[in-house]
């Protein structure tokens, strides 16, 4: 069973390393760390983490902005977020939760307490393993995709896809409402064929969208990040 992925966004490297060490030692999670707000947005798209631990005081883009942006985008709106804040006044705490965070921890915090909050948030969210189960049939308002029978239909009319387009759609649907970067799509759908440029992902997504007609708009472009299938 793979442990849940946690992204720690914290510019103080000592703290980030301590959190990583604590969560990984206890087997609660596998942890990636980044030190800037803008990197956090990219990392969320790359890693599709099960939880983000987000410091509010960050260079380039503040933690509040990161939180707001993640919540605004449908693909990342449901990722659990625990905010780390140095501020202690009541209004700031309320603000942390207003931003859409699931929980907050005030600095200085005990690592044991943080680990307990992480477990609680991940538990509330449900098992990542169950979530990763492959849906064999997707039924949307217009699109019905039976990945077992390799049969795709939009508004009742069958749609012919190439193998590549089919795999692209399947991977997008499996990860619906999450952002998938071009690199991830490339790696998953094209495997290790080198020489394939990330731009060709755009071309294939464009064709897939066109073939899906009215259902094509479910594949959203997330500017600067990649693509997301919106359920
Ligand atoms: Ca900080």
Best CA proximity match to 125, nearest among 1, 4, 2? 4
Q: How far is the CA of 10 from the centre of ligand 1 (A)?
A: 5
Query: How far is 225 from 216, CA to CA, in rounded Å?
Result: 19
Q: 111-125 and 13-25 are packed helices; what angle lies between their axes, rounded to 10 degrees? A: 60
Spans of all domains in the chain: 5-126, 131-229
Query: 5-126: which CATH number, 3.40.50.2300, 3.30.530.20, 3.40.1190.20, 3.10.129.10?
Result: 3.40.50.2300
| Residue with tokens 């600067």, as numbered in its chain | 224
Indicate whether this model's pTM tops 0.75.
no
User: Going edge to edge, which strands form the sheet with 180-181?
Assistant: 180-181, 226-229, 219-222
Query: Would you tell me how many other CB atoms lie within 10 Å of the CB of residue 20?
Result: 19
Query: How far is 7 from 1, CA to CA, in rounded Å?
Result: 19
Residues counted in the chain: 231
Q: How far is the CA of 57 from the centre of ligand 1 (A)?
A: 4
Q: How far is the CA of 56 from the centre of ligand 1 (A)?
A: 7
Q: How far is the CA of 38 from the centre of ligand 1 (A)?
A: 14
Each residue's pLDDT, cut to its tens digit, for the chain (231 residues) gives 678 999 999 999 999 999 999 999 877 789 999 999 999 999 999 999 999 999 988 988 989 899 999 988 888 888 999 998 876 655 555 565 667 788 888 888 888 888 888 888 887 765 444 344 455 889 999 999 998 878 999 999 999 988 888 889 999 998 899 888 888 888 777 765 555 677 788 888 999 999 999 999 999 999 888 999 999
Return the bridge partners of 31, or none.
6
User: Is 131-229 in CATH node 1.10.10.10?
Assistant: yes
Collapsing DSSP to helix, strand or coil, 206 comes out as helix
Q: How far is the CA of 207 from the centre of ligand 1 (A)?
A: 43
Query: How far is 95 from 106, CA to CA, in rounded Å?
Result: 13
Beta-strand relationship, 5-9 and 51-55: parallel
Q: Do residues 80 and 121 lie in contact, with contact meaning Cβ atoms separated by under 8 Å?
A: yes
Q: Do residues 9 and 58 lie in contact, with contact meaning Cβ atoms separated by under 8 Å?
A: yes
Q: How far is the CA of 13 from the centre of ligand 1 (A)?
A: 9
């Amino acid at each position: 069973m793979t442990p849940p992925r946690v992204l720690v966004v914290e510019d103080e490297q000592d703290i980030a390393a301590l959190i990583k060490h604590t969560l990984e030692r206890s087997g609660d999670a596998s942890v990636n760390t980044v030190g800037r707000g803008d990197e956090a947005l990219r990392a969320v798209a790359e890693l599709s983490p099960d939880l983000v631990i987000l410091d509010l005081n960050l260079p380039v883009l503040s933690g509040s902005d990161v939180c707001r942006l993640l919540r605004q985008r449908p693909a990342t709106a449901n990722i659990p977020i625990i905010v780390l804040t140095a501020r202690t006044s009541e209004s700031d705490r309320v603000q942390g939760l207003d931003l859409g965070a699931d929980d907050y921890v005030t600095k200085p915090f005990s690592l044991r307490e943080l680990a307990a909050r992480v477990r609680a948030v991940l538990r509330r969210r449900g098992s990542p393993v169950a979530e990763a189960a492959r849906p064999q049939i997707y039924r949307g308002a217009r699109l019905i995709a039976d990945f077992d029978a390799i049969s795709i239909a939009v508004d009742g009319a069958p749609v012919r896809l190439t193998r590549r387009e089919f795999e692209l759609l399947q991977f997008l649907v499996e990860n619906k409402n999450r952002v998938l970067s071009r690199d991830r799509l490339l790696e998953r759908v094209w495997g290790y064929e080198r020489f394939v440029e990330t731009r060709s992902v755009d071309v294939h997504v464009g064709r897939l969208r066109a073939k899906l007609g009215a259902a094509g708009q479910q594949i959203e472009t997330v500017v600067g990040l990649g693509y997301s299938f919106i359920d």
